[in-house]
């Protein structure tokens, strides 16, 4: 049986995602090219629905200082930056895979967005404590087993009222208790469950979890 690779990360009917994508309309040729590259090389990138959601969130929150953890080849960064540019802001994006970051930079140049993006090559867990300024919007999409580490390190860097969006928090639905999944994902699933628990119970954030894409959490840091 033919299985569309894009269906693998989803825990709800792929037909639903495909239908919602049709409502988004066609992406421009550059985004389509990156989607196809990512699919061919099995580089996990956000779904177009999540990309569009990030773009909308940046526009609605009028965010100007944006941080992304997990650039890969720049797909989500382009969705973010297209909205940040209109707000007169800037995106800082971190990835420890130098080859992917180099390719992302080529896409940023082609998208004519290079001047709005600072790329940082390295492990976010080492870089975050060294960042000199705060952010009003943070997007996390890196190693699922490290989400709790990122959360603790990112907390002091988000301004009061700032927004935190995290991708893959439902991880194919496997975070739901009593799900069955291959044992090699034990650590990741356990880490994500703990992450969601801590984020949702954190009194300094108001959080909701949206069951689309691979599960997206949206939190706002309380004003004081
Ligand atoms: C899911 S991909 C990011 C996809 C990208 N956000 C998109 O949608 O286009 C995750 C990326 O996180 C990077 N990564 C994993 N652990 C990291 C860490 N500790 N610090 C920085 N980057 C990390 C990986 O190299 C990988 O490219």
pLDDT, tens digit (0-9, with 9 covering 90-100), for 133-159: 999 999 999 999 999 999 999 999 999
- The predicted pLDDT at position 43 comes to 95
What average pLDDT does the chain have?
93
Query: How many angstroms is it from 25 CA to the middle of ligand 1?
Result: 27
- The predicted pLDDT at position 13 comes to 72
Q: Residue 218 above 90 pLDDT?
A: yes
6, 29, 72, 120, 216 from 103: Cα distances, Å: 21, 17, 8, 13, 26
- Is there an atom of ligand 1 within 6 Å of 64 CB? no
Mean pLDDT (whole number) for 155-180: 94
- The predicted pLDDT at position 10 comes to 62
Query: How many angstroms is it from 72 CA to the middle of ligand 1?
Result: 5
Indicate the fold that domain 5-221 takes in CATH: Rossmann fold (3.40.50)
Local confidence band at 98 (pLDDT 50, 70, 90 cut-offs): very high
- Is there an atom of ligand 1 within 6 Å of 124 CB? yes
């Amino acid at each position: 049986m033919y299985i569309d690779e894009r269906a693998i990360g989803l825990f709800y009917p792929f037909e639903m995602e495909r239908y919602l994508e049709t409502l988004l309309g066609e992406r421009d040729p550059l985004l389509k090219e990156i989607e196809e590259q990512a699919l061919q090389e099995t580089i996990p990138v956000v779904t177009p629905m999540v990309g569009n959601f990030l773009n909308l969130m940046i526009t609605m929150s009028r965010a100007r200082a944006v941080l992304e953890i997990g650039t890969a080849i720049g797909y989500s960064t382009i969705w973010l930056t297209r909205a940040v540019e209109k707000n007169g802001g800037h995106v800082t994006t971190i990835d420890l895979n130098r080859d992917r970051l180099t390719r992302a930079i080529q896409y940023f140049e082609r998208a004519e967005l290079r001047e709005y993006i600072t790329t940082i090559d390295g492990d976010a867990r080492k870089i975050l404590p060294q960042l000199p300024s705060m952010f009003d919007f943070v997007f996390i999409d890196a190693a699922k087993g490290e989400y709790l580490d990122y959360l603790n390190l990112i907390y002091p860097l988000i301004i009061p009222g700032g927004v935190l969006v995290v991708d893959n928090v439902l991880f194919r639905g496997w975070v739901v208790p009593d799900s069955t999944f291959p044992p090699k994902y034990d650590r990741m699933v356990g880490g994500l469950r703990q992450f969601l628990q801590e984020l949702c119970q954190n009194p300094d954030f108001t959080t909701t979890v949206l069951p689309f894409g691979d599960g997206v959490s949206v939190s706002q840091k309380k004003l004081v």
